[in-house]
Structure 1
Amino acid sequence: MLTRKQLELLEFIHKRVQRDGVPPSFDEMKEALDLRSKSGIHRLITALEERGFIRRLAHRARAIEIVKLPDSMDQSGFTPRVIEGDAPPPAPRAAMPVEAVHALELPVMGRIAAGTPIEAISEVSHTVAVPGSMIAGSGHHYALEVKGDSMIEAGINNGDVVVIREQGTAENGEIVVALVEGHEATLKRFRKKGDMIALEAANPAYETRVFPKGQVKVQGRLVGLIRSY
C-alpha cells in the first residue's frame, strides 16, 4: 500500500512523463506536493523505489523510470484506494492466544524510526509472540521493528521490537509513535508545550524536534519491548 504523499508523487511523475517524455525535477516535485524541502522528496522517491514502483538509473539526470502502477490505476489517471498518510494505522487483526506459552500473537506493522523519521508503514509483515502481561488493558495493539539509535538511553536499541497500544493521545513524557507532517513516522518521547509538540530523543546526539500541534499526530503509545540480541 502507498501513503497519500507517495501516491501523489507517483501520479505527478507519471503524468509528467506522459506529457513531456521526461520526469520532473526534484524542485518541481517539491512544489507540486507543497513540501518545504527536497529531503522529503528524497524520502518519498526512496520509498517508491523500495516498493518497486519506480527505478532510478545511476549517473543520469532526472533518471527516474516508472516500473509499475498500482493495480487500481489505469493509464488515464489514478483512482486507487489508499491509506491516507495522516490516518492512524488500520486496526490489526485480533490478538491470537498461544496457550502453551501464555503469549499473544501481534502483527508487526513494519519498521519505525528511532532517529531520522522514515516513511510510515501500515502493512502487516509478520507476527510476533509477546507475553500476555505486556498488553496494557483493552484496545488494539501492534508491534514495530525499531530502526536507529535515538532512543538508546531509554533502553530501546536498533533491531528491537516495540509493542504499541493504538491511541490518538498521550501524556507528557510518554514514548509514542508520532506521525509527522502526514507522512513520516518516528518513535520519540512526547512533550506538549502550549500549541507546540516536542518530540524528544533519548540520545544526546539527536536534537529535540518541535512542531505546531497540527503537524503531529499520535498513533500509539509504547507499552512493551522485545529485546533483539
Structure 2
Amino acid sequence: MGLTPRQAEILDYIKDYSREQGYAPTLQEIGARFDLSSVATVHKHVGQLVSKGYLRRDRPNASRDLEIIDLDAKPVAVVMVPILGTVAAGYPIEALEDREEIALPEEWLGKGRTYALRVRGDSMIEEQIRDGDTVVVEAREVARNGETVIALVDGDSVTVKQYYRDGAVIRLQPANPDFQVMEFPEDRVRVQGVVVGVLRRF
C-alpha cells in the first residue's frame, strides 16, 4: 500500500534509527524528531505503517516494540525430503526405510535426488556429525576422495564415513580417533550418496 509523505518520513527515520542503534525509537522519540507534540498523533501514523505491512509490533505494550518488515526479502522455498532410515556413524548397521519426511530449504538440495538419514554413533564427530543428527544426502554413486559419503557395505549395511579410493581398495575413514579405519575391496562397497548438510536439534 502507498504511504503519505509523513508516513514515508517516519518509516525512513525508524529504519535509520534501528540501523544505527540496533533497536527502534520510542513513540516519544519519533514525535520529537518530527515536532509532533501529541503521542496520539505519532501512534496513529505508526498504526498505519503496521496496518500497511511496513512495521510489526513484536512486544506489545513495550516502549520499543517496533520491528521493520523487510519487504524486499524473498520467501524461502521449502521442499519435503524423505527420511529413509538410520545410518551408522560407527560400524555399519542396517538402514531401514521409514515413511517420514522433513522440510528443507530448497537451496540445501543437491543436483540429483536428495534424501535424509538419521545418524547413530559418534565416529564422525570431528566432521560435526553427531549421534542423533540428521544428514542431508545427495544421491550419487561416485564420490571424490575426502567427501563424506553414505556407503553400502556387502549389500546390506550402511555407514557414513569419509571416502578414499586407493586402486581397488576403498577406505572408509572415521572422523574420530576412537574408531578404526575400515578397508574393503571395491566390489564390497557401493556409494549411495554424498552428505551435503547436517541438521541438529538442541
Return the TM-score normalized by structure 1. Answer: 0.54
Residue by residue, what CA displacement relative to the aligned partner does 1:62-116 show, whole Å, maximum 9, x if unpaired?
A: xxxxxxxxxxxxxxxxxxxxxxxxxxxxxxxxxxxxx964211100001100001
Deviation, 1:173, is: 0.3
Is the partner of 1:214 in helix, strand or coil?
Answer: helix
Mapped to 2, the partners of 1:228 and 1:146 lie a distance apart of 12
Amino acid at match of 1:120: A
The answer to whether the 8 A contact 1:149-1:203 is kept is yes
Deviation, 1:167, is: 1.1
Residue by residue, what CA displacement relative to the aligned partner does 1:180-229 show, whole Å, maximum 9, x if unpaired?
A: 11111000000000110000000000010000000000001111111122
- Which residue of 210, 213, 219 maps to 2:183? 210
- Which residue of 92, 98, 121 maps to 1:124? 98
RMSD, aligned CA: 1.4
Q: Which has the larger radius of gyration?
A: 2
Alignment of 1:188-203 (within 5 A): 188-203=161-176
Mapped to 2, the partners of 1:136 and 1:220 lie a distance apart of 10
Aligned length: 129
Amino acid at match of 2:143: A
For structure 1, list consecutive stretches of 5 or more residues without a partner in the other structure. 1-98
The answer to whether the 8 A contact 1:109-1:142 is kept is yes
Deviation, 1:164, is: 0.5
Is the partner of 1:133 in helix, strand or coil?
Answer: helix
Mapped to 2, the partners of 1:151 and 1:228 lie a distance apart of 17
- Which residue of 148, 151, 154 maps to 1:175? 148
Whether 2:85 is the aligned partner of 1:142: answer no
Mapped to 2, the partners of 1:179 and 1:168 lie a distance apart of 10
Is the partner of 1:206 in helix, strand or coil?
Answer: coil
* Identity level (%): 43
Q: Which residue of 1 aligns with 2:90?
A: 115
Deviation, 1:131, is: 1.3
The answer to whether the 8 A contact 1:120-1:179 is kept is no
Mapped to 2, the partners of 1:150 and 1:130 lie a distance apart of 25
Alignment of 1:1-229 (within 5 A): 101-121=76-96, 123-137=97-111, 139-229=112-202
Q: Which residue of 2 aligns with 1:41?
A: none
The answer to whether the 8 A contact 1:141-1:166 is kept is yes
Is the partner of 1:153 in helix, strand or coil?
Answer: helix
Deviation, 1:130, is: 1.1
Is the partner of 2:187 in helix, strand or coil?
Answer: helix
Amino acid at match of 1:131: P
Mapped to 1, the partners of 2:149 and 2:165 lie a distance apart of 12
Is the partner of 2:164 in helix, strand or coil?
Answer: strand
Mapped to 1, the partners of 2:79 and 2:132 lie a distance apart of 20
Tell me which stretches of 4 or more aligned residues in structure 1 moved more than 4 Å: none
